[in-house]
Amino acid sequence: MDIEPIEELDLGGSQLGACRFDVEPSCSVDLGEPIQQQSGASTGHFSTIDSHTTVARAPDQTPVDQMLLAFTGRAWEAEEMTQNPAAPTTPLGSVGSLGTAVVSGASSGIGAATAIALSTIGFDVVIGARRVERLSEVAKQCPGPVAVHQLDVTDDGSVNHFVASIPECHVLINNAGGALGVDPIATADIAKWQTMYDTNLLGTLRLTKGLLDKLTDSGNGHVVVVGSIAGIEFYRGGAGYNAAKAAQHSFCEVLRQETVGLPIRVSEVQPGLVETEFSVVRFDGDQDRADAVYEGLTPLSALDVADLIAFIVTRPPHVNLATTLLLPRDQATVAVTHRS
């Protein structure tokens, strides 16, 4: 079952801490046979590696050292960047970058916004999702080196291929997931429950397990899981999604215990109401029903969540924001909101 959004990507612009990054409008990319060469475009250069992978590099990039300093204002980052000046046009895994960040479910929404944010502050970025053409659109909006891979987190073979293609990993953003339907338990669609469990929990397990050694070898690995308020607060009609996200939350808690003493941090971000295509997918394409979820209040945006993730992964190595609940001002709990 395909639960990825189908509409055009439109991220607008965002304020990343004190660092402004502007996102160009999305555009269609005619891929032809697997992925065709894109050359001379002002938004970047693409080159084919295989049928699953593309590397993109923007031709005229602004060095990220001052941008990162503006974003964090931390002396340790200034010292580190003085020793390792940024080299934005170098290949993935270069010494000059902040390291390699891997983002799953990066074809839209929170995943796409996070990939762009991490690229903006100086990470080499590896992005994965099922729809490579959507990933290519996201890659054009990343100012630094990007590797584009086809990835289905519910498929062992796809994950294995994805992991094998990544030489090193410093940050893993487990973002792939989603909700399907709001049926009560009495009439629950077991197939939808299975898909939610496989995507949200087992997808996180597959990818984390596959990259754990590389995260450890990096000397400063960081696993970030995009969970949900639904994993800690439960509601009628949400049992399937609640169960999947609660299991994902438990996964994070246990992984943090099992990796203590290793150079790995484990963080979970639990957003509340975020206006992406999440609800459109949940309601099987019913836009009016999806719009009603956010009616009368100002929800979070994908860029709000990406801003937080960028902050979390740029803390000093001894600092771990373990679990962060992120809500719009108009939301107090799953059930308590203020609507005008």
pLDDT score of 60: 41
pLDDT score of 92: 60
Check pLDDT > 50 for residue 69. no
Domains of the chain: 13-326 (3.40.50.720)
Helices 239-258 & 203-217, crossing angle to 10 degrees?
Answer: 20
What are the C-alpha distances in Å from 322 to residues 161, 174, 213, 280, 301? 30, 15, 20, 30, 22
Average pLDDT over residues 227-254: 98
4-283-274 Cα angle (round to 5): 70
**Six-digit token pair at 156?**
């062992």
Give me the percent of the chain exceeding a pLDDT of 90: 71
- Report DSSP state, residue 154: T
Q: Residue 264: phi, psi to the nearest 5?
A: -135, 135
Helix (H) or strand (E) holding 266: strand 264-271
**pTM, to two decimals:** 0.76
Pairing of strands 146-150, 124-129: parallel
- Three-class DSSP category at 116: helix
Catalytic positions are 241
- Three-class DSSP category at 246: helix
- Three-class DSSP category at 7: coil
Count CA atoms closer than 13 A to 313's CA, side-chain side: 31
- pLDDT for 283-324, tens place per residue? 999 999 999 999 999 999 999 999 999 999 999 999 999 999
pLDDT score of 196: 97
Identify how many contiguous H helices and E strands the chain contains and give both numbers: 11, 11
Q: Are 145 and 90 in contact (CB under 8 A)?
A: yes
